[in-house]
Amino acid sequence: MVAPPLPLDPSDAFQSAGTAPGVEAPAMEKRDPARARLLAEAERIFAEKGYAKASTREICAAAGLNTAAIHYHFGDKEGLYRETLLAPMRQMTEGFAGIDDAGLTLREALTRVLRGFIGSADGASAQHMRLHLRGMVEPNPLYAATVAEHVVPHHAALVRLLARHIGVADTGDDVHRLAFALVAMAHDYCMSREFMQILAPNLLRGPEPMSNALARIVDWGMAIVAHESARHAAALPADPPTVPYPDEA
């Protein structure tokens, strides 16, 4: 598919190319700077003010675009908000496919999962997390529906993976708690990064701070899963005593 040319004036966003069928949003953002600016400013303003208080006029003005830009690229405010949520979700979950595959070792699977949550060393991951934190503290139906569609399946896969390695057939509350605990260790590097820098200024400096953190968190995850597996095995009842048949008594 040949991409239509960009407009001579990027502010006339309603003339620029929208998301073509079969073209991934990140590819479109590289090709369409107006769309990318609109998403970046929308993410910032939604994160600062929340969905309800964010103004589409303010978003367009911040991006330097015509007020028709949102309608052209995303349909409406809901479509724009959904896309700002999905962009970081895509980055986070792109490596999650098949994490509960029996062919993966536990270490390989945990590395795939936790790498997505730990984020990168730049500021982009922190900005994404501010947006999602706003959705958590000020819930709205759009946020809940987007998470249900795009995050719940990955959480379910992680729970199945953990249950298999613990040795339980039932993915009950304990397994869900374990999944949340493992994710939280990595998530904190995005959600609490500014707080970390106050408490331990050198923690995120130096070469590959996120890779180093990921390696340690995966080690801790392996140890926790091993502990849960041993705890479950210890809780299993011993082999029941042999009960003789009546004619053997």
pLDDT digits (tens, 9 = 90+) for 4-55: 333 323 333 333 333 433 334 455 555 788 999 999 999 999 999 999 999 9
Asked if the 95-233 domain carries CATH number 1.10.357.10, the reply is yes
* Stretch (H or E) spanning 223: helix 209-235
The pLDDT value given to residue 243: 56
* One fold for 13-87 and 95-233: no
Q: Does domain 13-87 have CATH number 1.10.10.60?
A: yes
Spatial neighbors of 213 by CB under 8 A, at least 6 apart, are 118, 186, 189
pTM of the complete model: 0.73
Q: What is the pLDDT of residues 116-166, one digit of tens each?
A: 888 665 556 667 778 888 888 888 899 899 889 888 999 999 999 999 999
**pLDDT higher at 236 or 18:** 236
Q: How many helices (H) and strands (E) does the chain have?
A: 12, 0
- Interaxial angle between packed helices 33-49 and 77-93, expressed in degrees from 0 to 180 and rounded to the nearest 10: 90
Domains in the chain: boundaries? 13-87, 95-233
Give the 3-state secondary structure percentages of the chain, helix then strand then coil, rounded to 5. 65, 0, 35
In the chain the first and final C-alpha atoms are separated, in Å, by 83
Q: How far apart, in whole angstroms, are the C-alpha atoms of residue 100 and residue 94?
A: 15
Rg (CA), the chain: 24
Three-state secondary structure call for residue 235:
helix
Token pair of 181, please? 């605990």
Q: Which two tokens stand for residue 247?
A: 């004619």
- Nearest 10 degrees: Cα torsion 60, 66, 70, 73: -130
